Homo-oligomer: A and B are copies of this chain.
């Protein structure tokens, strides 16, 4: 028997920009679960308007007839509502919608990682000034509530590190290359045919999408304004099947990670494929799943995983923000409040942080594919020795084709920049058939 709220429900008018996949998921949830939200939480969500440039080409017959439809940004921005939900994506007009909503003192919810990574700290400052609620749970890792976990659960602790599998497309491709022995192009085609990769996959496979999400997470976790362009980023396109063979030999798995780690006053940021020891929980996150691991000085490591994209999971995160905004609005109406509850910064101010240079050390995996001849190992090890890089292992599996011979050198923890210099030197050598390729390793 459902319970009923003693008070009359709190009306909350929702204006929605963008009726794509996620937008449709949000409308579906609102229509199907609205009665439950009313009874259970005392909140009556009213969908009042939808902005969509091509709504006339879409089937909208299933959507409540009380909605006002518009193709005009101006009309949409002028419609009275309590919350604006921005699900268009991209910079424009998303940026304008978010700013205008906040300026008008409305609550704003967005799933847009692009604008949040670039303008998030400005939005947070604006929200703080205008006493508005800004929710962006769905902008990072879809259905995984990592924003709330960081801003409401782990925030009493000092976060020392956050790292995660933030792009489902890349994780699917890497899982296919690892388990199915496919090469990169095959795995990408497979991802595209299943709808897990765009026709133009550049933003995903270049690491750009993961980089934007890492910028948002770092801003929250370290209370510092990090622009995506400040994050060194490398995608997954250089990986070849033999890398997965050697990864297995090293009892490891290759994953594209976003990593942000505090080292003293510095913050080391990086998006790159990593070779992850199979004892580490992140190595087990396969296919299109995402996962984020947050480490605090006192709480230790907390790992959360789930679906990082898709209509349903993302819509649930958007709806959680809408309902929390409604609760917040209802419970604080009339009161003078210090806003920015979601921001990690109640004052809307952020630290400057020096980004990492001398402090970023990893063990490395370096893969070579060469035309075999005497002296190769001597040449390579000399380049490493010159930079005081210690070799850990030299691995060479049986291989019949001596003119395309793969082998691997792993080295002990080394400054990232030293390793880059060494690899740049190694790339000049004439015995290479494919450019030498270095991956940082995670062991602990």
Contacts and interface: CB of A to CB of B under 8 A. Distances in A.
Contacts of A320: 152-156
Interface in A93-152: 137, 143-145, 148-149, 152
Nearest to A36: B158
Interface stretch (A162-170, A304-312, A408-416, A430-438): A304-312
Interface in A331-370: 331-335, 337-338, 341, 345-347, 349-352
Given A284-B284, A351-B3, A330 B319 contact: no
Given A152-B148, A153-B137, A330-B337, A307 B299 contact: yes
Contact of A156 (B37, B300, B337, B351): B37
A249 interface: no
A323 B155 contact: yes
A300 B281 contact: no
Q: Which of A281, A301, A346 counts the most B-chain CB atoms under 10 A from its CB?
A: A346
A4 interface: yes
Nearest to A307: B300
Interface of A: 1-7, 10, 25, 29, 33, 36-37, 40-42, 137, 143-145, 148-149, 152-158, 223, 281, 284, 296, 298-307, 312-313, 315-317, 319-320, 322-324, 327-328, 330-335, 337-338, 341, 345-347, 349-352
A349 B7 CA distance: 13
* Copies of this chain, count: 2
Contacts of A316: 154, 156-157, 296, 298-299
A236 B247 CA distance: 37
A5 B348 CA distance: 9
Nearest to A143: B299
Given A156-B323, A298-B315, A303-B304, 15 more contacts: A1-B351, A1-B352, A4-B347, A33-B156, A37-B156, A40-B223, A153-B317, A153-B320, A281-B305, A300-B312, A301-B306, A301-B307, A328-B331, A331-B332, A334-B335
Contacts of A322: 156
B41 A346 contact: yes
Contacts of A315: 298
A267 to B, nearest CB: 14
A50 B303 CA distance: 34
Given A7-B338, A305-B281, A153 B157 contact: no
Given A5-B347, A324-B152, A352-B1, A33 B300 contact: no
11 contacts: A1-B352, A3-B347, A3-B349, A4-B347, A5-B347, A29-B156, A137-B153, A298-B313, A299-B306, A327-B341, A331-B331
B298 A5 contact: no
Contacts of A156: 29, 33, 37, 316, 319-320, 322-323
Given A5-B347, A148-B153, A346-B41, A306 B298 contact: no
Given A307-B299, A347-B6, A331 B323 contact: no
